[in-house]
Chain A
Amino acid sequence: MAGVSRLQYTNEIRLIRVMCTGKVDLSYIFRAFSNGMDGVFVGACRLGECNYITHGNYSALKNVLIAKQILEHMGIEPERVTIKFMNSSDGQKFVEYVNKFTETIRRLGPLGEKRGKNLDKKFEAAQRIVPYVRLVERERLRTDLKTEEDHIKYFQREDTKRLIRELIVDRLIMSEIVGLLREKILSTNQIADEVGLGSSEVAKYVNYLSRQGLITYQEPVRGYTLVQ
């Protein structure tokens, strides 16, 4: 309705049509960031008023909240991804939301400038673990909450955060390490340097991956390689 009412808004946004926000996958969010987008805005039907009876907007809300925590882990401001709920006739709201969001993003600055080492690799790693996140979401993050506030509260709970850290973030770091080792042989210290973590923490992941038989230490070159 913003268009029909000729409401003027920021020209810094590009819209992609999906039939339902339930279709907005985590991998789309990460792909947008790794493509150099500075923010991702998800515009959904109001909760409880899904155009379909599947209520996919709840799924979108959860994905956004999970994405926020993953971004946070990467050292990226979680405000760079947002979801807003509105009716098709809420043109005014849409304009308000996207303008405000663009302002936020402008305040945060371009993501490129903040791109620490290997941010692209981190996003690639994030995309790789999406199927796994789906399983975690299904098995461990099932909720029957009805409001946005309740969802936000749920994701701020310490036990939820711990769950996400243990089940998703750890997996993400390991995925990143595997990605790095696919390219070249690296020592624990070198890995720590690449992923931006302390050596002792990296050692924990490296040991786990070794025990799983995914990577192996090559004595002659003093570094880890992938097990083929």
Chain B
Amino acid sequence: MEGVSGEVGDFKVTLLKKARYIREDKCTGCTTCVEYCPVMVPDPFNQEIGKSKAVHIYFSQAIPLITYIDQSCLYLKEKKCGICETVCENDAIDFRQKDQLDQINVGAIILAPGFEPYDPRVVTEYKYGIFGNVVTSMDFERLLSSTGPYEGEIRRPSDQRHPHKIAWVQCVGSRRVTPGNNSYCSAVCCTYTQKQVILTKDHDSSAECTVFHNDIRSYGKDFERFYERAKNLSGIRFIRSYVTISREDPVTKNVFIRYATPNGVVEEDFDLVVLSVGLNPPKYSKELAQKLGIELEEHGFSKTEPFNLIQTSRPGVFVSGTFQGPTDIPESVFTASGAVSQTGQLLKHRKGKLATERVYPEEKEVAKEEPKVGVFVCHCGANIGRVVNVPEVVEYASKLPHVVHAQEQLFSCSTDSAKQITDVIKEKGLNRVIVAACTPRTHEPTFRDSLREAGLNQYFFEFANIREHCSWVHSMEKEEATKKAKDLVRMSWARAVRLEPLGEYELQVNKTALVVGGGVAGMTTALSLAKQGHEVYLVEREKELGGIVRRLHYTLEGLDVQGFLRDLIKEVYAHPLVHVITNARILNATGYVGNFVTRVQSDGFVKEIKHGATILATGATEYRPKEYLYGQDPRVMTNLELEERLAKGDESLKDLNTVVMIQCVGSRNEERNYCSRICCSQSIKNALKLKELRPDVDIYILFRDIRTYGFREDYYRLASDKGIRFIRYEPQSPPLVGVTDEGTLRVTVEDEILGNQLEIDTDLLSLAVAVVAPEGVEETALKFNATVGLDNFYKEAHVKLRPVDFGTDGVFVCGSAHYPKHIQEVINQAYGAAGRAMTLLSKETVTASGAVALVDQNACISCGACITVCNYGAISFEETPKGKKARVNPVLCKGDGLCTTKCPTGAVQLQHFKDGQIMAQLDAAKGETDILAELDRAVGE
């Protein structure tokens, strides 16, 4: 991006598109050029550990999946070579391409530049680049990967041997104020290290893994259990110590690490040392900020609005992902959706104006015709043709019954070839089409489109994969590969003749949304949807909006929470599209994606709400502790109670001489095996406030791990600097709280460093209590067909990739109902849920695939086996003249077909994968001699 002019709603962005030297519309990604290219270069995607070519695809999931030529190319450097141009059969190489400046006109800009892994070379103490067997976690990540330099084998740099004894060093580049390091916590390294340890043990179950760490920050959802899983593997040591990477064995090249133990400093050697590097701001963030006219915060990440981390300092420019600050995958995903929602608010009036509807010719009725099969066998440049004898396969296919056309194509997926398929269908009246080429994952939509263009139902298309399943994996066995290709074509043919046309179902979408829970999460989502033109019902159980945030007064950063909440509530009530129902109870909910009906009762009246989407934002509450004399001694209180007193300006707080805070009360134990995420910051926030009131107050924070992830680390440091004392305790020996005969409140704790019992007489004891799900979560979940996890927080569809969706379509989650979160994180996720809901609400209809289950009600014996196994709730009984019978709602069915293997009568069949179709394929897999006649007969059945 070269520059931005204009203003919100009307930006002009100048983009520099670097020459790829590949015609994107011609390249099919066949990679023949890569094979012939003579220039080997260190592979940039694989951390330069493996080799790549001057022309190559960046990585195997790249989009678009085509090549580019980098500057190491001989032709670009010296006008020599040009082999790729000769071998490319699709004329896709273009050395005359130049860098190109484009200007585009946009209304809003979303920044998602990610992060830059910390480079440990800037500090010599990490010995990266000095000792051969010191690698970064990014290097190690590639070593572990099946697409990595050694195809998933872990080999160490010095001698390519499999390392057996591996050490990880945490906090490399993070949590340090020395030059070259970052003061903040990078927030993701503890858990990614645990993942690497687990994967290493998967590779080599006898591997010895040692993790040298400071605090273990397993603050994310299910991270605590993940940490325990890693810790409990055999041969794993977690050692809490700073380390020095001291020396390298001159012969074995093993690396020595010095670390502290209770018995003094020891030195130990390892085959490989992995540096768990932190997250830096993107490399060009300063330049980027300058061009965009946005401000950066002190660490070099994007500066944002205090209560809206998605909004940069410039209107119309939004930020998602790690450019907000170090964050994990789920946060990146929902801030991305959140940025979309805020963009939607801004550009509401232009929504959909650039979209045009594609019109296909009307479908011909061919189901009753005799099968007329066309077979197209693709060479894929040289990818298939070089191994499989394509003309022989064509010849073979042409002799199969009902095949009226067979031909070869150089690249079936190229625009011309796809058009040719359409033409041949029309010309020869084909009613089944087989393309023998690559995987349905990439090109099934392309060819289905060719069929639709010819007025043929798209489900008459069948793919035979003779590239990934044949030529690429049997490249040395030409004869056998050709035989297999024929088998695969025959199997596809057996299926193809039995294919049936299928319709795709369309259902109207109700444009209204229901938001359950009127806390900050629910209100934020509701407003975002309303600002995009949707009517929203916001229902709240209590008499007032605000949820738990009504009890919060300031954040760690010192923001005024009550002021923010007042404005938010005011805005919600003022918006004409938001209908608030307080004191509400949900009686029941029925329906499905796009068409829900929910009955809500409030103050004696019942309202029936019809809505297309549901957002669950039912929040969380505080654990009521049974431990540490809570409720028995007035000097013992929870963090929130202390915060309320601080906010009220309780004068007695100024007289405190000593304050003790105990962390992890009710969290990280057997009953609640999770970290409540926010309490470390909460305690530090209160401690700093108390220090403001009276600088010489003694404050002790008794903790297990301090989890001030991200920029919060700076406040932990500030607290230490202000003399707040942090004393670590082990869960086996928790602090003891008692009252002496003289009435003194006394906390006894084992001091690990001093090795003795420490007795602290305190004036006030504040407990950092767990955040727990509110009562009735399971009931609510049941009503909306949502799922609840082990700890009673809602269980999303995928913990990383779908963090605000449920497995049930049209229902979304956000806020602390999903997992405890800081207020800014709640707002991020609330916008994220709004963004996801908008992908549904902005549509007129939802379309369901034709490849769904269907019940033959005559064969249904009403046993309910299918209903029990369908977690999507897609099957239910309906009343028919013949009694209760199962019926599949095609909109909810995902087409996995589990129900079909449970039905004792075969009444439910998965369309497009019917038993008969799969059986035909199975039958055709056997030798070709006897099967043809049999199958031919079967077609006539």
Contact = CB atoms under 8 A, between A and B. Distances in A.
Interface string A1-44: 11111111101001111111011111110011001110000000
A18 to B, nearest CB: 6
Given A1-B60, A3-B473, A25-B900, A16 B147 contact: no
A134 to B, nearest CB: 5
Given A11-B484, A18-B897, A89 B926 contact: no
Contact of A22 (B473, B474, B480, B897): B897
B909 to A, nearest CB: 11
Nearest to B474: A11
Interface in B478-510: 480-481, 484, 487-488, 491
B448 to A, nearest CB: 15
A8 B476 contact: yes
A16 B462 CA distance: 12
A63 B146 CA distance: 30
B896 A22 contact: yes
Interface stretch (A50-58, A151-159, A181-189): A50-58
Contacts of B868: 138
B467 A25 contact: no
A8 B474 contact: yes
Contacts of B915: 25, 27
A190 interface: no
Contacts of A15: 465, 469
Contacts, number: 145
Contacts of A5: 60, 146-147, 151
Contact of B152 (A17, A92, A138): A92
Contacts of A32: 922, 925
Contact of B146 (A51, A52, A92, A135): A92
Contact of A18 (B439, B468, B484, B918): B918
A76 B468 CA distance: 32
A90 interface: yes
B870 A54 contact: yes
B487 to A, nearest CB: 6
B895 interface: yes
B900 A134 contact: no
Contacts of A27: 915, 919
B474 A54 contact: no
A210 interface: no
A7 B468 contact: no
B871 A138 contact: no
Given A14-B491, A28-B919, A63-B901, A20 B472 contact: no
Nearest to B925: A14
A13 B797 CA distance: 34
Interface string B833-876: 00000000000000000010000000000000100111110000
B926 A36 contact: yes
Contact of B896 (A23, A132, A138): A23
Given A14-B488, A54-B870, A89 B146 contact: yes
A15 B470 CA distance: 10
Contacts of A28: 918-919, 922
Contacts of A35: 922-923, 925-926
A148 to B, nearest CB: 14
Q: Looking at chain B, what size class is its interface with the partner chain?
A: 35 or more
A63 B491 CA distance: 24
B244 interface: no
A22 B903 CA distance: 13
Contacts of B704: none
A54 B476 contact: no
B902 A134 contact: yes
Contacts of A20: 896-898
A199 interface: no
B4 to A, nearest CB: 38
A196 interface: no
B874 to A, nearest CB: 10
B907 to A, nearest CB: 10
B472 A3 contact: yes
B474 A18 contact: no
A9 to B, nearest CB: 6
Interface in B418-458: 439-440
A91 interface: yes
Given A5-B146, A7-B473, A134 B922 contact: no
B927 A36 contact: yes
A59 interface: yes
Nearest to B151: A92
Contacts of B906: 131
B60 A4 contact: yes
B147 to A, nearest CB: 7
Given A35-B925, A54-B870, A59-B898, A1 B905 contact: no
Contacts of A134: 865, 901-904
B621 interface: no
Contacts of B871: 52-55
Contact of B921 (A9, A16, A54): A16
B897 A23 contact: yes
A157 B913 CA distance: 35
Contacts of B870: 54
B305 to A, nearest CB: 36
A55 B151 CA distance: 29
Nearest to B869: A54
B923 A31 contact: yes
Contacts of A22: 896-898, 901
A24 B919 CA distance: 11
Interface string A97-121: 0000000000000000000000000
A20 B913 CA distance: 11
A4 to B, nearest CB: 5
Contacts of A4: 60, 468, 472
Contact of B900 (A23, A31, A37): A23
A138 B477 contact: no
B396 to A, nearest CB: 16
Given A5-B147, A5-B151, A92-B152, A19 B895 contact: yes
B26 to A, nearest CB: 21
B776 to A, nearest CB: 23
Contacts of A3: 439, 465, 467-469, 472-473
Nearest to B895: A19
Nearest to B905: A131
B14 interface: no
B797 A53 contact: yes
Given A1-B60, A18-B913, A22-B901, A52 B926 contact: no
Given A8-B473, A14-B487, A36-B926, A23 B898 contact: yes
Nearest to B145: A89
B488 to A, nearest CB: 7
A56 B898 contact: yes
Contacts of A56: 896-898
Contacts of A37: 925-926
B572 to A, nearest CB: 33
B807 interface: yes
A91 B146 contact: yes
B913 A53 contact: no
A44 to B, nearest CB: 12
14 contacts: A3-B472, A8-B475, A17-B440, A19-B896, A24-B901, A26-B901, A28-B918, A35-B925, A36-B927, A52-B871, A52-B894, A53-B787, A53-B871, A131-B906
Given A1-B60, A7-B151, A59-B901, 7 more contacts: A3-B469, A22-B898, A52-B871, A54-B869, A56-B897, A59-B869, A59-B902
Interface of B: 60, 145-147, 151-152, 439-440, 465, 467-469, 472-477, 480-481, 484, 487-488, 491, 787, 797, 807, 851, 865, 868-872, 894-898, 900-906, 910, 913, 915, 918-919, 921-923, 925-927
Interface of A: 1-9, 11, 14-20, 22-28, 31-32, 35-37, 51-56, 59, 63, 89-93, 131-132, 134-135, 138
The 8 closest A-B pairs by CB, nearest first: A3-B468, A22-B898, A23-B897, A53-B807, A20-B896, A52-B896, A56-B898, A131-B904
